[in-house]
Amino acid sequence: MSAQAPISTPSATIAVTVMDAATIFEGPETVYRYDLSGTGIVEGKALGRVMDQVAKIAGSAWPDVDVAVIADPSGTDISREAVTILKRQLDVAGARVRQQEAVATPESVLAAAVPGKAPASTSTVQADSLIEHTEAGPETGTDTETGTGARAGKEKTKGTGTRWTDKLRGWIGAIDMFHVAIVVVIFAVVGASWWTMGASASHDEDEGEPGITTRSTTAASSTDSVPGEDIGASGSSIDQVPGGDGGLSPGEKRLDIEGLSVVLPVGFHATVEEGLVTVTGEDPDLRILLAADSLFNVPARALFDEIKAQVDRDPELRDVSENAGRLFYTEDPGDGSIVEWTIWEDTGHHMSVGCHTRHNANTVQKAACRMATESMSKK
């Protein structure tokens, strides 16, 4: 994990923009922290780390600095409540809190809703922390795909004097093989964040009932099953047929969601949040993370080599191995849980399955994860 050196000469004002799902720090450098959300500040889990980030940017001048705390106008009451809490904490610490109003911009909405759209190059991978980015490439209209990974946050460093909303335009369209590596980052990050925040999907009582179809809902909603009816707005149907269809054995069901098809035991249900597919069953200590992201013509060998290099230099990633065209490694998010990742290439897509258990996986949990890794395919 790469550590940021303190800034010895901070700018006159450090601006902190609080969103429901992220916090942006602007000063001598601009830092994006998707692991420090407004929700986390309100719940008290992220407040200390937000203060640490402000102090790091201020450097030796802390706490003798001016700090403007801004609520993202596109956010909810959570962002505004988080701003109030953060202002009070900064005032107690001795910083000078300035009043500043935020202006709603399309870029601020994009940054909050799509944390994967970030600068083009990355220097390290790590769960529940940061990814450092530098600007790469001219302004274009091309979107980059990200989705899988072992890191919780993203961090971008820039020079003084340019607003982050202006810099974002230059990032979009810079596509290289590192974007593929970022895919490995996002999944475990969000999974670990959900784990610690206690977020969970509500489960249906549909075991043994054939012919049930649902649609995945948005980030904060759970997946419900209603016979003969499509639910939600994601447009991805979930075919949940517990056996007797397409060669399924008794006790198995097929899930078709977000362009993926996977066979799992009856009783497992999928939820989708910002491209992350999380599958859970009756075992509260197991969740399975699924993703398929375009390789953008990057060879699978180049992807595997990059992931191996990241595992070698990241203390939270270990036990990398390769067998039969698949790459395996283990992540320790830092909260006592374990994520065992399986990576492979299928029809030009980077396929990822993360077996996330609260402790070391037992035999039953490993069996469920094996079903996912052996059956998942891109539709």
Domain-embedded: residue 94: yes
Q: Using 50, 70 and 90 to split pLDDT, how confident is the model at 180?
A: very low
Say if residue 183 is in the same domain as residue 227.
Answer: no
Q: Where is the domain boundary, 197, 221, 249? A: 197
Say if residue 182 is in the same domain as residue 216.
Answer: no
* CA dihedral of 56, 82, 356, 125, whole degrees rounded to 10: -30
The whole-number pLDDT of residue 72 equals 84
- Enumerate residues 6+ apart whose C-beta is below 8 A from 235: 215
The predicted-structure confidence for 58-98, as pLDDT tens digits, reads as follows 888 888 999 999 988 887 888 889 899 999 999 888 889 98
CATH number, domain with residue 341: 3.40.1000.10
Q: Which of 163-167, 233-237, 264-268, 305-309 has the lowest mean pLDDT?
A: 233-237
Domain-embedded: residue 204: no
Say if residue 283 is in the same domain as residue 189.
Answer: no
Q: Where is the domain boundary, 156, 171, 197? A: 197
The pLDDT of residue 134 is above 50: no
Q: Tell me which residue range forms the domain holding 361.
A: 212-378
Q: Where is the domain boundary, 139, 167, 197? A: 197
Alpha-carbon distance 297 to 43, whole Å? 42
User: In the chain, what percentage of residues exceed pLDDT 70?
Assistant: 58
Length reported for the chain: 379
**Cα separations (Å) of 16 from 25, 30, 93, 309?**
5, 10, 15, 34
The pLDDT of residue 221 is above 80: no
Say if residue 220 is in the same domain as residue 177.
Answer: no
Q: Using 50, 70 and 90 to split pLDDT, how confident is the model at 222?
A: very low
The pLDDT of residue 11 is above 50: no
Say if residue 238 is in the same domain as residue 152.
Answer: no
Say if residue 99 is in the same domain as residue 143.
Answer: yes
What value does the mean pLDDT take over residues 4-20? 66
Domain-embedded: residue 4: no
At 310, the amino acid letter reads: Q
The whole-number pLDDT of residue 356 equals 96
Say if residue 261 is in the same domain as residue 131.
Answer: no
Domain-embedded: residue 87: yes
Domain-embedded: residue 154: yes
Helices (runs of H) and strands (runs of E) counted in the chain: 8, 20
Domain-embedded: residue 203: no
The pLDDT of residue 240 is above 70: no
State how many domains the chain has: 2
Cβ burial, residue 315 (10 Å; 0-12/13-18/19+): exposed
Say whether 122 sits in a helix, a strand or coil: strand
Say if residue 216 is in the same domain as residue 245.
Answer: yes
**Cα separations (Å) of 332 from 296, 311, 336?**
29, 11, 7
Say if residue 45 is in the same domain as residue 123.
Answer: yes
- Contact, 63 vs 93, CB < 8 A? yes
Say if residue 46 is in the same domain as residue 70.
Answer: yes
Say if residue 155 is in the same domain as residue 300.
Answer: no
Domain-embedded: residue 5: no
Rg of the Cα atoms in the chain: 21
Say if residue 344 is in the same domain as residue 250.
Answer: yes
Higher per-residue pLDDT: 271 or 220: 271
DSSP state, 4? P
Query: Strand 30-33 to strand 23-26: parallel, antiparallel, or no bridges (unpaired)?
Result: antiparallel
Domain-embedded: residue 207: no
Strands (E), the chain: 13-18, 23-26, 30-33, 66-71, 96-98, 121-122, 132-134, 155-156, 212-215, 237-240, 252-257, 260-265, 269-273, 276-280, 286-294, 317-323, 326-331, 338-346, 349-357, 377-378
Alpha-carbon distance 254 to 264, whole Å? 6
Alpha-carbon distance 237 to 252, whole Å? 18
- Contact, 303 vs 370, CB < 8 A? no
